[in-house]
Amino acid sequence: MRLFELLLYLSNIGLFALTVLLKKERRRIPVFVASGIATLLLVIHWMVEGYRVQLLFPYCITIIFLAISCYSFFKKTGPKKIPRFMLGSTYTAIAVMLIVTAGLMYTFPVFKLPEPTGEFKVGTQTFHLVDTNREEIFDEARDGKRELMVQVWYPAQAGTGKHTPFVPDPQILDYMAADYGLPGFTFQHLKYVSSHAYSGAEVSSAQTSYPLILANPGNGSSRFLHTSQAENLASHGYIVAVIDHTYNTFATVFPDGRITTSTTNDLFSPNDDYRTSRAARDKLGKVLTDDVAFALDQFELIQSGQIPSLLKGRIDLGHVGVFGHSIGGATAYDASYDPRIAAGIDLDGGLYRLRDRESLRKPFLFINSESYFEQLKMAMDNRSYTDAELNRMGETREWMDQVTEDKKLELERMRETVGEGGRVLYIENTEHMNFADVQLISPIFNKLGITGKIAPERANSVINAYILDFFDMYLKNQGGVLLKGPDNRYPEVKFATLSFR
């Protein structure tokens, strides 16, 4: 909660209290002064912090009190008597508005992103990349090539000016709200959330080059929802590129003003059988994997200077990693077959194209939510779902039996990567959305079970610690302490043993 919006809210409570507690003949001057203070706070709040719809009631209360108190203070005649019923109704309405406002401020705060833990300042730059060798298949109305927006965070010299906004373009917030089935104004306050990065800052001269990490958001997500992970890695000496997979995000804004939204769900139909649905996911997955390979091609051009950038000559292309969340985690796994990529991380994502490839012979880390690990454990234990469980999930036994078969193959792939230096972990009390910055947006997500019982800030800290330790080990030949086994600093993290019964 920001300072002046809090002070404005408290001034409204003060105005209400003065009006209710003071007798009519004694309240004229105190209410006039208090309404003046509230109005001043309102103006400062608007100018310094910016308007947001969650504070509509305090805005109205402040203006109404100012008008009434000015009229009462300057008029010559005495106050008219207001009927008790009307007065009581007014007081009740104001009390309800203040209570509702408190709930809205709690539910939709202008929060602060977690501070990066590394020694470097963080810079950021965004690239518009066009793959002239691939046709766009997810927009039938447009005959064009595959285009991507990629945002990069990197170690920077001391930045100047303001930090960049958390949300790259406020236009996408309407689409984000629609994706959650909420009114368009719901997330507009997120445009006031600041990142810790400086736009266009010079790359830090502390090292000649920095390892590159490519990151992939989940289905219907956005690159900005991995800002805290990217900033933290950049603060520890990595160049991190988060890819907006066009038509798989809730919205992507291009430099010419075009906005694309998610159309990849059109690949799936509720009437599909399991095999058809799996084939559609594999088709989508191949496009996402090809996006990563293309992005890596482009960073080779950035490194050589063929694409102008502050990053020219500063990217260590001999040490490249990849990670992602949900289907982005599956993308990270599939993309890791590229020989240019040394290691990768899957954050709670079920794998795709399992039958298309041989085993992945390189270090790979799986960090799962407790709920997803329970699904994997069902397959490990060869336990069938009960009728009650199937009804709760809305699935048929035939469908879930095929899911279980795929999970067994997925577990086999996980076990193979452990033999190459990878690990399989899960974090207690986490759910799927704890692996992206969406968990920080509203505490109500925790109450609704969208995120797990773990505090979002704690989940963020734990996940970032293990991501950093893994990449330090395989891209910098240092660290790796957390991967050796359970650590009393992170008791929530459990190392999985992948054995079938």
Domain total in the chain: 2
| pTM of the model as a whole | 0.93
87/155 same-domain check: no
Number of helices (H), then strands (E), belonging to the chain: the values are 14, 12
Q: Residue 404 falls within a domain, yes or no?
A: yes
How far apart are the C-alpha atoms of 294 and 297, rounded to whole Å?
5
163/85 same-domain check: no
Of 49, 74, 107, which residue sits at a domain end? 107
- Nearest by Cα to 346 from 320, 323, 377: 323
Instruction: Print the domain residue range for 22.
Output: 3-107
State the DSSP string of 71-136.
HHHH-SSPPPPPPHHHHHHHHHHHHHHHHHHHHHHHHS----PPPP-SSSEEEEEEEEEEEEEEE-
- Nearest by Cα to 360 from 328, 389, 337: 337
Of 107, 130, 151, which residue sits at a domain end? 107
224/170 same-domain check: yes
202/173 same-domain check: yes
| Coil vs helix vs strand at 272 | coil
- Give the distance from CA 302 to its chain's centroid: 27
User: 79 is written with which tokens?
Assistant: 């106050």
Q: Residue 152 falls within a domain, yes or no?
A: yes
What's 366's domain CATH number? 3.40.50.1820
Q: Residue 422 falls within a domain, yes or no?
A: yes
60/137 same-domain check: no
Q: Residue 333 falls within a domain, yes or no?
A: yes
437/298 same-domain check: yes
How far apart are the C-alpha atoms of 435 and 424, rounded to whole Å?
15
| 501 residues of the chain, pLDDT tens digit each | 799 999 999 999 999 999 888 877 777 889 899 999 999 999 999 999 999 999 999 999 999 999 988 887 777 555 566 677 787 888 899 999 999 999 999 999 999 999 999 999 999 999 999 999 999 999 866 678 999 999 999 999 976 778 999 999 999 999 999 998 989 999 999 999 999 999 999 999 999 999 999 999 999 999 999 999 999 999 999 999 999 999 999 999 999 999 999 999 889 888 888 899 999 999 999 999 999 999 999 999 999 999 999 999 999 999 999 999 999 999 999 999 999 999 999 999 999 998 888 889 999 999 999 999 998 998 888 888 888 888 888 888 888 888 889 999 999 999 999 889 999 999 999 999 999 999 999 999 988 889 999 999 999 999 999 999 999 999 999 989 999 999 999 999 999 987 655
55/174 same-domain check: no
Q: Residue 500 falls within a domain, yes or no?
A: no
84/136 same-domain check: no
Residue the block writes with tokens 């507690």 = 21
What is the model's pLDDT at position 500? 54
Q: Residue 103 falls within a domain, yes or no?
A: yes
Of 80, 107, 134, which residue sits at a domain end? 107
- What pairing do the DSSP bridges indicate for beta strands 423-427 and 315-325? unpaired
- Nearest by Cα to 216 from 298, 150, 129: 150
198/243 same-domain check: yes
Q: Residue 116 falls within a domain, yes or no?
A: no
89/207 same-domain check: no
CA 438, 443, 447, 448 dihedral sign is: negative
297/216 same-domain check: yes
142/94 same-domain check: no
Q: Residue 306 falls within a domain, yes or no?
A: yes
